[in-house]
Chains A and B, each alone.
Chain A
Protein backbone atom coordinates (compact mmCIF):
# COMPACT_ATOMS: atom_id res chain seq x y z
CA UNK A 1 0.00 0.00 0.00
CA UNK A 2 1.10 3.59 -0.63
CA UNK A 3 1.99 5.27 2.64
CA UNK A 4 1.09 8.96 2.88
CA UNK A 5 3.13 10.91 5.42
CA UNK A 6 1.99 14.36 6.48
CA UNK A 7 3.87 16.98 8.46
CA UNK A 8 3.55 18.66 10.80
CA UNK A 9 1.02 16.82 12.98
CA UNK A 10 -0.05 20.09 14.56
CA UNK A 11 0.18 23.59 13.14
CA UNK A 12 -0.55 26.58 15.39
CA UNK A 13 -0.97 29.67 13.21
CA UNK A 14 -1.61 33.35 13.87
CA UNK A 15 -4.68 34.76 12.13
CA UNK A 16 -3.72 36.36 8.84
CA UNK A 17 -0.45 34.47 8.59
CA UNK A 18 0.38 31.77 6.04
CA UNK A 19 0.37 28.03 6.72
CA UNK A 20 1.90 25.14 4.84
CA UNK A 21 1.30 21.38 5.12
CA UNK A 22 3.54 18.77 3.55
CA UNK A 23 2.46 15.39 2.24
CA UNK A 24 4.87 12.75 0.96
CA UNK A 25 3.97 9.43 -0.67
CA UNK A 26 6.00 6.23 -0.54
CA UNK A 27 5.81 5.91 -4.33
CA UNK A 28 5.06 8.10 -7.29
CA UNK A 29 1.44 9.18 -7.64
CA UNK A 30 1.63 9.66 -11.41
CA UNK A 31 -1.04 7.42 -12.92
CA UNK A 32 -0.59 5.57 -16.19
CA UNK A 33 -3.14 8.00 -17.67
CA UNK A 34 -0.75 10.88 -16.94
CA UNK A 35 -2.77 12.37 -14.09
CA UNK A 36 -1.62 12.66 -10.48
CA UNK A 37 -4.49 11.82 -8.15
CA UNK A 38 -3.50 13.68 -5.03
CA UNK A 39 -6.34 15.33 -3.13
CA UNK A 40 -6.64 17.48 -0.03
CA UNK A 41 -9.53 17.41 2.43
CA UNK A 42 -10.55 19.67 5.27
CA UNK A 43 -12.45 18.35 8.27
CA UNK A 44 -13.81 21.00 10.58
CA UNK A 45 -14.70 19.93 14.12
CA UNK A 46 -17.85 17.80 14.17
CA UNK A 47 -18.23 17.84 10.38
CA UNK A 48 -17.75 15.44 7.48
CA UNK A 49 -14.59 15.86 5.44
CA UNK A 50 -14.79 18.26 2.52
CA UNK A 51 -12.59 18.08 -0.54
CA UNK A 52 -10.60 21.26 -1.16
CA UNK A 53 -8.13 20.31 -3.87
CA UNK A 54 -8.08 17.54 -6.47
CA UNK A 55 -5.35 16.36 -8.83
CA UNK A 56 -2.67 18.27 -6.92
CA UNK A 57 -3.67 21.84 -7.62
CA UNK A 58 -7.32 22.15 -8.71
CA UNK A 59 -9.54 23.96 -6.23
CA UNK A 60 -13.07 22.66 -5.75
CA UNK A 61 -16.01 24.95 -6.34
CA UNK A 62 -16.55 27.34 -3.45
CA UNK A 63 -13.08 26.87 -1.98
CA UNK A 64 -11.47 30.24 -1.20
CA UNK A 65 -8.48 31.14 -3.35
CA UNK A 66 -6.29 31.44 -0.25
CA UNK A 67 -6.00 27.64 -0.49
CA UNK A 68 -3.54 26.30 -3.04
CA UNK A 69 -1.98 22.94 -3.79
CA UNK A 70 1.28 22.14 -5.49
CA UNK A 71 3.80 19.36 -5.97
CA UNK A 72 4.62 16.42 -8.15
CA UNK A 73 5.70 12.80 -8.02
CA UNK A 74 5.93 12.03 -4.31
CA UNK A 75 6.09 15.45 -2.71
CA UNK A 76 3.06 17.71 -2.27
CA UNK A 77 2.08 20.84 -0.36
CA UNK A 78 -1.12 22.55 0.72
CA UNK A 79 -0.76 26.25 1.43
CA UNK A 80 -3.12 28.69 3.08
CA UNK A 81 -2.01 32.21 2.19
CA UNK A 82 -3.71 33.95 5.15
CA UNK A 83 -5.31 31.78 7.80
CA UNK A 84 -8.82 32.70 8.91
CA UNK A 85 -10.71 31.45 11.96
CA UNK A 86 -12.92 29.20 9.80
CA UNK A 87 -9.83 27.28 8.61
CA UNK A 88 -9.44 25.56 11.99
CA UNK A 89 -9.67 21.79 11.61
CA UNK A 90 -7.76 18.75 10.42
CA UNK A 91 -6.37 18.53 6.89
CA UNK A 92 -5.77 15.23 5.12
CA UNK A 93 -4.03 14.37 1.90
CA UNK A 94 -5.25 11.31 0.02
CA UNK A 95 -3.91 9.46 -3.00
CA UNK A 96 -6.28 7.99 -5.57
CA UNK A 97 -3.71 6.71 -8.03
CA UNK A 98 -3.12 3.25 -6.55
CA UNK A 99 -5.49 0.75 -4.92
CA UNK A 100 -6.17 0.87 -2.04
CA UNK A 101 -6.82 4.56 -1.64
CA UNK A 102 -4.81 5.85 1.31
CA UNK A 103 -4.92 8.93 3.49
CA UNK A 104 -2.24 10.82 5.34
CA UNK A 105 -2.48 10.89 9.11
CA UNK A 106 -3.81 14.44 9.21
CA UNK A 107 -2.53 17.87 10.25
CA UNK A 108 -4.42 19.81 12.89
CA UNK A 109 -4.53 23.54 12.19
CA UNK A 110 -5.31 25.71 15.17
CA UNK A 111 -5.14 29.41 15.97
CA UNK A 112 -2.37 30.60 18.27
Chain B
Protein backbone atom coordinates (compact mmCIF):
# COMPACT_ATOMS: atom_id res chain seq x y z
CA UNK B 1 0.00 0.00 0.00
CA UNK B 2 1.16 3.51 -0.76
CA UNK B 3 2.55 5.33 2.28
CA UNK B 4 4.14 8.75 2.73
CA UNK B 5 5.86 9.10 6.11
CA UNK B 6 7.05 12.55 7.10
CA UNK B 7 9.68 13.69 9.57
CA UNK B 8 8.80 14.94 13.04
CA UNK B 9 7.75 18.30 14.38
CA UNK B 10 10.21 21.19 14.36
CA UNK B 11 10.56 24.41 16.33
CA UNK B 12 12.62 27.12 14.67
CA UNK B 13 13.53 30.72 15.34
CA UNK B 14 12.71 33.48 12.87
CA UNK B 15 15.30 33.66 10.12
CA UNK B 16 16.26 29.99 10.40
CA UNK B 17 15.66 27.20 7.87
CA UNK B 18 13.73 23.95 8.10
CA UNK B 19 13.96 20.81 5.99
CA UNK B 20 11.06 18.37 6.06
CA UNK B 21 11.34 14.87 4.63
CA UNK B 22 8.70 12.61 3.09
CA UNK B 23 9.63 8.95 2.67
CA UNK B 24 7.55 7.07 0.12
CA UNK B 25 6.84 3.36 -0.07
CA UNK B 26 4.47 0.99 -1.83
CA UNK B 27 5.02 2.28 -5.36
CA UNK B 28 7.75 3.14 -7.86
CA UNK B 29 8.98 6.47 -6.50
CA UNK B 30 10.16 7.90 -9.81
CA UNK B 31 6.78 7.35 -11.48
CA UNK B 32 4.95 10.14 -9.65
CA UNK B 33 5.57 13.71 -8.64
CA UNK B 34 5.18 15.05 -5.12
CA UNK B 35 3.41 18.24 -4.14
CA UNK B 36 3.88 20.08 -0.86
CA UNK B 37 0.87 21.72 0.80
CA UNK B 38 0.77 23.67 4.04
CA UNK B 39 -1.97 24.60 6.47
CA UNK B 40 -1.60 27.41 8.98
CA UNK B 41 -3.42 26.94 12.31
CA UNK B 42 -7.18 27.05 11.76
CA UNK B 43 -6.74 27.94 8.08
CA UNK B 44 -7.20 26.31 4.71
CA UNK B 45 -4.83 24.46 2.41
CA UNK B 46 -2.08 26.25 0.48
CA UNK B 47 -0.18 24.59 -2.36
CA UNK B 48 3.56 25.32 -2.09
CA UNK B 49 5.00 23.57 -5.09
CA UNK B 50 5.68 20.35 -6.95
CA UNK B 51 8.66 18.24 -7.85
CA UNK B 52 8.98 15.49 -10.42
CA UNK B 53 10.51 12.43 -8.80
CA UNK B 54 11.53 11.32 -12.29
CA UNK B 55 13.80 14.21 -13.29
CA UNK B 56 13.74 16.72 -10.43
CA UNK B 57 11.84 19.41 -12.32
CA UNK B 58 10.10 21.81 -9.97
CA UNK B 59 7.27 24.33 -9.98
CA UNK B 60 6.99 26.63 -6.96
CA UNK B 61 4.25 28.94 -5.77
CA UNK B 62 5.19 32.48 -6.70
CA UNK B 63 4.95 33.76 -3.11
CA UNK B 64 7.60 31.25 -1.96
CA UNK B 65 10.03 31.63 -4.86
CA UNK B 66 13.52 32.21 -3.54
CA UNK B 67 12.77 30.78 -0.10
CA UNK B 68 11.75 27.20 -0.92
CA UNK B 69 13.67 24.32 -2.46
CA UNK B 70 12.22 20.89 -3.18
CA UNK B 71 14.47 17.94 -3.86
CA UNK B 72 14.32 14.17 -4.04
CA UNK B 73 16.67 11.31 -3.23
CA UNK B 74 15.70 8.42 -5.49
CA UNK B 75 18.06 6.03 -3.69
CA UNK B 76 15.90 6.30 -0.55
CA UNK B 77 12.55 7.22 -2.18
CA UNK B 78 12.47 10.41 -0.15
CA UNK B 79 11.30 13.90 -1.04
CA UNK B 80 12.47 16.98 0.82
CA UNK B 81 11.14 20.49 1.24
CA UNK B 82 13.43 23.19 2.61
CA UNK B 83 12.07 26.58 3.60
CA UNK B 84 14.50 29.38 4.47
CA UNK B 85 14.29 32.76 6.20
CA UNK B 86 11.42 31.51 8.33
CA UNK B 87 8.84 33.96 9.63
CA UNK B 88 6.12 33.57 12.21
CA UNK B 89 3.51 33.23 9.48
CA UNK B 90 5.31 30.12 8.21
CA UNK B 91 4.02 28.32 11.30
CA UNK B 92 1.90 25.55 9.81
CA UNK B 93 1.45 21.85 9.27
CA UNK B 94 3.35 20.87 6.13
CA UNK B 95 2.09 17.96 4.04
CA UNK B 96 3.56 16.03 1.16
CA UNK B 97 1.08 14.52 -1.28
CA UNK B 98 1.54 12.26 -4.28
CA UNK B 99 0.39 12.87 -7.78
CA UNK B 100 -1.77 12.42 -9.68
CA UNK B 101 -4.03 15.00 -8.10
CA UNK B 102 -2.82 14.48 -4.55
CA UNK B 103 -4.38 11.06 -4.09
CA UNK B 104 -2.09 10.09 -1.18
CA UNK B 105 -0.97 12.34 1.70
CA UNK B 106 1.61 12.18 4.43
CA UNK B 107 0.66 12.56 8.08
CA UNK B 108 1.86 16.16 8.23
CA UNK B 109 4.77 17.88 9.98
CA UNK B 110 4.14 20.77 12.35
CA UNK B 111 6.68 23.54 11.95
CA UNK B 112 6.52 26.22 14.63
CA UNK B 113 8.41 29.47 14.11
CA UNK B 114 8.81 31.38 17.33
CA UNK B 115 11.43 33.48 19.04
Contact = CB atoms under 8 A, between A and B. Distances in A.
Interface in A50-65: 50-51, 54-55, 60
Interface stretch (B7-15, B41-49, B71-79, B80-88): B41-49
Contacts, number: 54
**Chain A interface extent, by class:** 20 to 34
Contact of A103 (B44, B103, B107): B44
Interface residues of B, number: 20
Nearest to B102: A51
Contacts of B97: 49
Most chain B CB atoms below 10 A, which of A48, A94, A105: A48
Interface of A: 1, 37, 39, 41, 43, 48-51, 54-55, 60, 90, 92, 94, 96, 99-106
Interface of B: 35, 37, 44-47, 50, 59, 61-62, 95, 97, 100-103, 105-108
